[in-house]
Structure 1
Amino acid sequence: MSRFFDAIAPVRYEGPDSSNPLAFRHYDPDEIVLGKRMADHLRFAVAYWHAFAYEGGDPFGGPTFQRPWYPQDDMARARLKADVAFQMFDILGVPYFCWHDADIRPEGATFAESLRNFEAIIDYFGDKMAGRDIGLLWGTANMFSHRRWMAGASTNPDPDVFAWAAATVKTCMDATHRLGGQNYVLWGGREGYETLLNTDMARELDHMGRFLNMVVEYKHKIGFAGTILVEPKPQEPSKHQYDYDAATCIGFLRKYGLEGEVKLNLEQGHAILAGHSFEHEIAVAAAEGMLGSIDMNRNDYQSGWDTDQFPSNVPEVALTYYHILRAGGLGTGGTNFDARLRRQSLDAEDLIAAHAGAMDVCARGLKAAAAMLADGGLETALRDRYAGWDTPRAQRMLNSDLDALFQQVLAGEIDPQPRSGRQEWLENHVNRFV
């Protein structure tokens, strides 16, 4: 059993006046927000890869962290890593965690050896989950780190890699199902291209569409009741990724007949890389009924790459949860902290403080979002702005044709007078709550 976190007591809610850096000041899991427990709105999860597998490296330098379970190439250390992980879940009181297969087991010399390692750790997870109030928000397969994935997984020009990807996803779906996972995620880290000079894009997209249909078929075959999710990201590591943003993914899902089977796992940092705000991505997914789950983090706006920092901007988070609440909540999804420590943050306490602070930021954002909804000011302004479309006259316009509308305008029956969008008023309104 690890002693990594032994000096750290469980994080408890102490209220906004607390000065304890390892206490919740805003996250009270049992507080009722819009008729539901705060914990049930937020559905927090810890990302196994960033919290326990990340070694503190970046594109310009090697590892800075020293952990008792490094190097991560041995089953004994994989079990030690799991001991540490569940100790942290207990300290934070989070209801969920998430993993990639490569985060939790050492790579074997063959697929069969890797699978034996993986299944042994899944057994170990199952034992640890028994008797604990902790569940699996989602599992997924890492199909971007190993050199076999350098040209993609389902989009790889080599059909043998496609088959290896299918076998990998099958094992991860089986494990997710066995642990009672709420969702299964596919993130195409290298499903894209580095140059069009060697890329048959139409073929790759068709293969990716077929692969995702295989995933859905297998979901039904094994009776997995969770949601299948895809995660948009525009670039990095690929020059261009086929899952660029929410709208691109929705178009892809509709093209391949998957819009009724697959939803989106949206990430704040990926939205920024795509040139969007997080609330934009959530609003797009919600408008199409495809909002599934979120990865909560942030980017450094000066760095220009996916820094995966813990959230700290309450106004941004408040608008995120405002759109989530308007959409009816996260359903089987949750708030996964796909975030990692800065490479200079070396201590065990840093890992706890980062998650506790992020949970507080999300709690503040959720409460602000709920207050905005309860106030109704934004909803009223929205209804007023589009009220003209609720009239019989406007509905006749929609059911008319270009020539008839031309005749009305020409006759002077229609003479639009612009109205203020009142953006600054609405921004001031939001600032009352955040």
Structure 2
Amino acid sequence: MALYTAQQVNASKRQKTALRDLSVRANVTVETNEYFAGFPKIEYKPDATVDETLCYRFYNASEKIHGRTMEEWLRAAVSFLHAFHSYSDSGTGRFDSTVLNNFSRSWDEGTISLESYKRRLRAAFEFYSKIGVKYWTVYDRDLAPEGDTIEETNQNLDEMIEFVLELQQRTNIKPLWVAANFHSHSRYYNGACTSSEPHIISCAGAQLKKAMEIAQRLGADCFLFRGTREGYSSTLNTDHSKQLRNYARLLKMTAGYKERLGYRGQLLFEPNFEDFHSTCINVQNYDFDYNKTYYRYDYDTTSAICFLKHYNLDKLEFKISTKPGHQLVMASAYGMLGSVDCTSITSPPKIREATLLMKAVVEHGGLQPGGLNIGLVLRPDSTELKDLLVAYINCIDIYAKGFRIAAKLIADSTFAKNLQQRYLGFHSGFGSRFVNGEASLEECEEQAKKLNQNTESVQQTSGRSEHWEAVFTRYCNSVRF
């Protein structure tokens, strides 16, 4: 299988001259009002009226709660892919290319020249600075276009990295994580690390090597691995054991190169929580029947942890980047929580969801060096620049409010006291011996016989779930700041 389609090669050749002509770095001064003219730097205004949406009512970055600032607890990062690159697809296989072409941005001209990428990055850093975040997340292919060869692709990336470094130094903003994009190019339609073609795996390895070098140069706190298409469409033509071993080998190679490179960032592994239909990408000359079933190897947190532990990858410092909710709880329970993927294709979280998330984060002890990766796709009729600002301001503010509520209910110890009482039976007698590993099945039998003599003691105590859900709801609805 060709690594590049004829159409892609021709398109790249047509722009080759333009790319070379634009090889001189553009001025990287981040002008306060270059692209977001007229919009102020977003500030904390707890007394703002309900229709003042260009401010934070709950997020006060420097305010200390539970020994850390809100900025340190949330570690909010803006997804460059969702906020900036998805709107300027130009047919290159980015997310939502058929839906979001109606968004017109002054920094986009509809080309894939290096100058176009630089304008988009200048706009992004102006945006990050205005809403007051210190982190961003980015895939390698969102920084520069692919060339006809690996050498040309890496040359494009090297030029852009120098450009980004100056932007970061001027704004004091750095990546929460950098990742290799295995979802856009047609070469990976049948998997990157689990492909049946060795030369495809070699391309994935080369891309991982360069992406990690980028992460080190940009000072990324983490390096994210997301095998978007690692799976199979039919078990009849698949050697699953070989594919899983190859998958693990490439991750071990990545960890090994991290050590040789001297990169100190956290390795993150992100499962593919969505089904194939919702994450499949429009790729040029990629004809695939979306109605066919596609099975993923790492479809949730538990399957991902099983994979990492089976191949001893957890010992190579891999942690899980997870979705909120049950997936986050499982990652934390197994001691594998590394970061949270808060990207959404619909709307910001409900306050209940945000509070549960931040409660889990606080109880876990924080996410450092991970954080909250926030990515939103605007509604089709939200075409103004203000809509982009308000969307991210509102989302960060919801997580900030959720954090304040979570901090309050944790400080009150109401739920902690209930948990202690509910599991009190494990503090003495048979329960204590069971927890400490001192009990046997014979002792379980003896205990069960004693219970048969007293039928009342066999009755289960109510967990009072309805009561505690109601208490939690009242916290969400009634806490005032």
TM-score by length of 1: 0.91
Give CA deviations for 1:240-270 in whole Å, capped at 9, x if unaligned. 2211111111111100101131001112xxx
Q: CA deviation at 1:103?
A: 1.1
Q: Counterpart of 2:430?
A: 393
2:101 alignment partner AA: P
Runs (4+) off by over 6 Å: none
1:230 alignment partner AA: F
Distance (Å, rounded) in 1 between the aligned partners of 2:465 and 2:441: 31
Give unpaired runs (5+ residues) of structure 2. 1-26, 89-94, 281-293, 477-481
Distance (Å, rounded) in 1 between the aligned partners of 2:72 and 2:257: 29
Give CA deviations for 1:320-371 in whole Å, capped at 9, x if unaligned. 1101111111010111112222233212111111111111111001111111
Q: Counterpart of 1:219?
A: 258
Q: Counterpart of 2:353?
A: 316
Q: CA deviation at 1:372?
A: 1.2
- Percent identical residues: 31
Give unpaired runs (5+ residues) of structure 1. 268-277, 299-307
Q: Counterpart of 2:48?
A: 17
**Alignment of 1:6 onto 2:61:** no
| Residues 339 and 198 of structure 1, relative CA distance in 2, 3 Å threshold | farther
Give CA deviations for 1:41-75 in whole Å, capped at 9, x if unaligned. 11111111111111287486462212232424101
List aligned pairs for 1:273-284, cutoff 5 A. Answer: 278-284=324-330
Q: Is the 8 A contact 1:188 1:241 kept in 2?
A: no
Secondary structure of the residue that 1:433 maps to in structure 2? helix
Q: Counterpart of 1:262?
A: 318
Distance (Å, rounded) in 2 between the aligned partners of 1:423 and 1:204: 43
Give CA deviations for 1:150-188 in whole Å, capped at 9, x if unaligned. 011010110001111011011010111111110000111
How many residues get paired? Answer: 415
**Alignment of 1:64 onto 2:129:** no
**Alignment of 1:55 onto 2:87:** yes
Q: Counterpart of 2:395?
A: 358
Deviates more, 1:175-184 or 1:189-198: 189-198
1:249 alignment partner AA: A
Q: Counterpart of 2:295?
A: 240
Distance (Å, rounded) in 1 between the aligned partners of 2:132 and 2:439: 58
| Residues 30 and 123 of structure 1, relative CA distance in 2, 3 Å threshold | same
Secondary structure of the residue that 2:264 maps to in structure 1? coil
Deviates more, 1:9-18 or 1:78-87: 9-18
Distance (Å, rounded) in 2 between the aligned partners of 1:284 and 1:41: 20
Q: Counterpart of 2:289?
A: none
Q: CA deviation at 1:16?
A: 4.1
Secondary structure of the residue that 2:224 maps to in structure 1? strand
Distance (Å, rounded) in 2 between the aligned partners of 1:195 and 1:16: 58
**Alignment of 1:87 onto 2:142:** no
Match of 2:378 among 323, 337, 341: 341
Deviates more, 1:329-338 or 1:414-423: 414-423
2:172 alignment partner AA: D
Give CA deviations for 1:381-405 in whole Å, capped at 9, x if unaligned. 1111111011133233452322332
Q: Counterpart of 1:105?
A: 144
Match of 2:415 among 358, 371, 378: 378
Deviates more, 1:31-40 or 1:191-200: 191-200
Q: Is the 8 A contact 2:100 2:380 kept in 1?
A: no
Distance (Å, rounded) in 2 between the aligned partners of 1:421 and 1:404: 26
Secondary structure of the residue that 1:131 maps to in structure 2? helix
Q: Counterpart of 2:287?
A: none
2:358 alignment partner AA: Y
RMSD over equivalenced CA pairs, Å: 1.9
Distance (Å, rounded) in 2 between the aligned partners of 1:128 and 1:431: 43
Secondary structure of the residue that 2:125 maps to in structure 1? helix
Q: Counterpart of 2:69?
A: 37
Q: CA deviation at 1:310?
A: 4.2
